[in-house]
């Protein structure tokens, strides 16, 4: 008999999590105004709200915490990180920031002006937020296949080159400060971008003289998919693939809370000295001196080790295949999920799951709430609530997909937890005919409303 797969790590420390009853959860979610972000974590049994900063560090990372150098300027932990970032990305200049959106804030302060256009592949919400905050516009050029949850395209994060070229042709070059390529593409479901597409986007950018930056939060998971799916890359190491991908761009912003395998942190890495100089000014203003940028020395050390571990095949296999394990269970139960499975999360297709709940009543939000009530599982809505209102008309924007994301923290839950999630979803799916009404928003912020919006049950 063939030996089954087993994780390439064992557990050195355990953290207890609390069970609760459905009655308790009904009361708690009502008290939280039906916003899952409002729940305290002790009211959650399995927390798959996000994979951002929620993973487990290794013993080697913890050991690095102990030798962190907290010098204000030029700490050895900074130098260790700088060297690792250069080794993995190939970029020459490096600025640490306290998280990914801070990297966006610093870089975009240098590059994005009012009236600008920033094309990309389904920009992440904070990326879009930082573009729109500067009265610029994010234009989505993702391939159409990305919006069909049952299309098995291997690289659904890819950019449609025709869409991109149309944007280039219809705006003067000065109005397009850069293109942002998100790897993997979070908003399209943790879907990868191929090397070929990256190369093609890069060539098109060069033709029009427009820089290409990566939103690289999950670049290692992206490299894993390339190794598994793109011909010619099966024998390359993850580190070789990642470095090749980065070689086609001018720079990157990073949320280290994802593939950095740490709980907090971010950075900018790039090649253009002039942009680096401009970004340095904003980094000092917003984040701190350029050799710590909002991070502790010990955290920079742990990040250096984390980046190295995250770009190892054995780690990535356990990571990405755990997501697939959950996804396959759901498919076997008939639950509608986005396929191929993403690298960090499973996305439930709420349009197919609860079609009778009107879109205006936030059907994906309604499904996310039900999952919490039934299983104590906290996922997140990636649909109309997240899409915010149009900045000009203030109307709800209805995205093509209404999803509930179950983002799995790295090295944190076992496959038994995945089974538990799958069965809870099967039970909800079996009673889906009863779901006919959703929620209304009674209070919301002008931008990124999903974090704080208050809902009322209809
Ligand atoms: C998380 C994330 C960000 C923002 O990073 P934070 O560390 O949460 O500020 C930007 N882009 C992508 C693709 C992300 O996943």
The CATH number of whichever domain residue 43 belongs to comes to 3.90.1150.10
User: If pLDDT is split at 50, 70 and 90, which confidence band does 147 have?
Assistant: confident
Of the candidates 108, 111, 112, the one whose C-alpha atom is nearest the C-alpha of residue 97 is 108
Residue-number span of the structural domain to which 79 is assigned:
59-310
Domain boundary among 265, 291, 310: 310
Q: Please report the atom of ligand 1 found closest to the CA of residue 257.
A: 7
Ligand 1, atom 6: closest residue by C-alpha: 100
| Ligand 1 center to 105 CA (angstroms) | 12
Distance CA 244, CA 194 (A): 11
| 129 and 215 co-located in one domain | yes
Q: Is residue 8 part of a domain?
A: no
CB 90 within 8 A of CB 243: yes
Q: Is 267 in the pocket of ligand 1 (CB under 6 A)?
A: no
User: Rounded to 5 degrees, what angle do the CA atoms 29, 33, 34 make?
Assistant: 55
Q: Is the beta carbon of 258 within 6 A of some atom in ligand 1?
A: yes
Q: What is the 434 CA–ligand 1 centroid distance (Å)?
A: 36
Which atom of ligand 1 is found nearest the CA of 52?
A: 1
In 3D, which of 8, 1, 2, 4 has the Cα closest to residue 319?
8
The mean predicted confidence, pLDDT, of the chain is: 96
Last residue of a domain, one of 293, 310, 327: 310
Dump pLDDT digits (tens) for 287-327: 999 999 999 999 999 999 999 999 999 999 999 999 999 99
Indicate whether 231 belongs to any domain.
yes
DSSP-derived 3-state class of residue 142: strand
Domain end residue (candidates: 275, 310, 345):
310
Do 213 and 302 sit in the same domain of this protein?
A: yes
Residue showing tokens 């350029």 = 290
Pocket test for ligand 1, best of 100, 181, 264 (most atoms within 8 A of CB): 100
The region of weakest confidence among 78-87, 339-348, 385-394 is 385-394
Q: Give me the phi and psi of 94, to 5 degrees please.
A: -145, 135
Ligand 1 centroid to residue 215 C-alpha, Å: 8
Please name the residue whose Cα sits nearest to atom 15 of ligand 1. Answer: 217
387 contact partners, CB below 8 Å, separation of at least 6: 396, 397, 398, 399
CA atoms within 13 A on the CB side of 143: 22
Distance 195 CA to ligand 1 centre (A): 22
d(CA 357, CA 437): 5
**What's the CA angle centered on 95, arms 175 and 316, to 5 degrees?**
95
Instruction: Kindly report the protein residue whose alpha carbon is nearest to atom 8 of ligand 1.
Output: 100
Give me the active site residues, please: 72, 124-125, 215, 217, 258, 450
Report the domain count for the chain. 2
pLDDT in tens, 154-196: 999 999 999 999 999 999 999 999 999 999 997 667 899 999 9
Q: Could you tell me if the CB of 405 is within 6 A of ligand 1?
A: no
CB atoms within 10 A of CB 42: 10
Residue 14 lies in a domain: no
Residues 196 and 325 in one domain: no
**Residue 16, in any domain of the structure:** no
Q: What is the pLDDT of residues 127-138, one digit of tens each?
A: 999 999 999 999
């Amino acid at each position: 008999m063939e030996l089954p797969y087993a994780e390439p790590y064992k557990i050195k420390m355990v953290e207890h999590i609390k069970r609760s009853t459905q009655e308790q959860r009904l009361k708690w979610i009502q008290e939280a105004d039906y916003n899952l972000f409002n729940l305290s974590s002790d009211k959650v049994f399995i927390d798959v709200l996000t994979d951002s900063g929620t993973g487990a560090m290794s013993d080697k990372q913890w050991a690095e915490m102990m030798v962190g150098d907290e010098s204000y300027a030029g700490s050895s932990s900074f130098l260790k990180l700088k060297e690792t970032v250069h080794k993995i990305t190939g970029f020459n200049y490096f600025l640490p920031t306290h998280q990914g959106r801070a990297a966006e804030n610093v870089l975009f302060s240098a590059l994005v002006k009012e009236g600008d256009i920033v094309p990309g592949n389904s920009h992440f919400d904070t990326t879009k937020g930082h573009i729109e905050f500067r009265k610029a516009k994010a234009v989505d050029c993702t391939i159409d296949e990305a919006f069909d949850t049952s299309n098995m395209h291997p690289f659904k994060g890819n950019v449609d080159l025709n869409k991109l070229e149309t944007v280039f042709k219809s705006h003067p070059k000065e109005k397009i400060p850069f293109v942002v390529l998100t790897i993997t593409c979070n908003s399209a479901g943790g879907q990868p971008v191929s090397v070929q597409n990256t190369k093609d986007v890069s060539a098109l950018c060069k033709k029009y003289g427009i820089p290409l930056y990566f939103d690289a939060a999950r670049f290692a998971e992206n490299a894993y998919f390339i190794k598994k799916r793109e011909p010619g890359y099966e024998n390359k190491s993850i580190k070789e693939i990642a470095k090749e991908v980065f070689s086609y761009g001018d720079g990157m912003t990073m949320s280290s809370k994802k593939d950095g395998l740490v709980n907090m942190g971010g950075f900018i890495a790039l090649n253009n000295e002039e942009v680096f100089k401009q970004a340095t000014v904003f980094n000092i203003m917003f984040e701190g001196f350029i050799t710590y940028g909002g991070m502790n020395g010990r955290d920079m050390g742990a990040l250096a080790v984390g980046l190295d571990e995250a770009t190892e095949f054995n780690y990535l296999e356990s990571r990405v295949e755990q997501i697939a394990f959950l996804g396959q269970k759901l498919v076997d139960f008939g639950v509608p999920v986005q396929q191929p499975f993403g690298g960090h999360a499973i996305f439930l297709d709420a349009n197919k799951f609860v079609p009778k709940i009107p879109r205006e009543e936030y059907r994906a939000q309604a499904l996310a709430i039900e999952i919490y009530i039934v299983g104590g599982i906290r996922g997140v809505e990636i649909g109309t609530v997240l899409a915010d209102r149009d900045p000009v008309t203030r109307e709800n924007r209805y995205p093509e997909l209404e999803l509930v994301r179950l983002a799995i923290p790295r090295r944190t839950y076992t496959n038994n937890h995945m089974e538990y999630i799958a069965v809870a979803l099967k039970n909800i799916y079996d009673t889906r005919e009863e779901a006919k009404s959703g929620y209304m928003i009674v209070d919301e912020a002008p931008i990124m409303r999903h974090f704080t919006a208050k809902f009322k049950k209809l």
